[in-house]
Amino acid sequence: MQQRKSASGRPSGTDGSDFSYRMVVDSRYQKVASGKSRLYALILTQATIQLIGAVFTVLSTSKEGPDRLAISAITAGFVSLIIGELGRRRSRASFLKIYMVASTAMILFWIACVAQSNSMLEVIQDLKKWEAKKLELLEIARILFGLVIQIFAIGTTISLIGNMSPPKRAS
């Protein structure tokens, strides 16, 4: 208590002369923080893309029932986003690895859904059909945008996992 009450009203050791003894935050912790915030934005974007895909799947449900491949894509997508968010919040590299695999599977399921429908081929063969197939073309654009976001998410996640792991000690 006596140390705090010096003559000038300032605690001892705070005159700036102790700067060389202060700890510096390692740059990888700063990279982890920025990577987490970037990954949050990417997961939020992926969730929006998934929600739009779910709405499109419900709207385009035919008389035969819902498309099982689309339902698989929706399920894999939302599960992967939950796992990714848990891994991001709790800094769990294992969850983030599962997120990368599951979200990539989701994109592949959506690509398979598009490949299964022949909308793009019909439009390419007869350009007059593009107005009738606007909704399907928007779905294709959504999936392509999701693919680009997925590429950024994989890069960010790999960088985040690399910065979260402890530094290698030279022996």
DSSP 102-115: HHHHHHHHHHHHHH
| Whole-angstrom distance, CA of residue 23 vs CA of residue 35 | 23
| Whole-angstrom distance, CA of residue 85 vs CA of residue 50 | 15
Non-local CB neighbours of 102 within 8 Å, separated by 6+ positions: 76, 79, 80, 83
Determine the pLDDT at residue 77.
Answer: 92
| Whole-angstrom distance, CA of residue 116 vs CA of residue 105 | 16
Residue pLDDT, tens place only, 52-86: 999 988 887 766 777 888 888 899 999 999 999 99
Two structure tokens written together for 39: 């990954």
| Whole-angstrom distance, CA of residue 158 vs CA of residue 61 | 37
Buried (b) or exposed (e) across 16-46, using 16+ Cβ within 10 A? eeeeeeeeeeeeeeeebeebbebbeebbeeb
Determine the pLDDT at residue 4.
Answer: 47
Enumerate the domain spans of the chain. 30-162
Residue 11, phi then psi, degrees to nearest 5: -65, 150
Determine the pLDDT at residue 56.
Answer: 87
| 68 class by beta-carbon count within 10 Å (0-12 exposed, 13-18 middle, 19+ buried) | exposed
Determine the pLDDT at residue 15.
Answer: 62
Per-residue confidence in pLDDT tens, the chain, 171 aa? 444 444 555 555 566 666 666 666 677 888 898 999 999 999 999 999 999 999 988 887 766 777 888 888 899 999 999 999 999 999 999 999 999 999 999 999 888 888 877 666 666 677 676 666 777 778 888 999 999 999 999 999 999 999 887 767 765
| Whole-angstrom distance, CA of residue 159 vs CA of residue 163 | 6
Helix segments in the chain, DSSP class H: 27-59, 68-90, 93-116, 119-125, 134-164
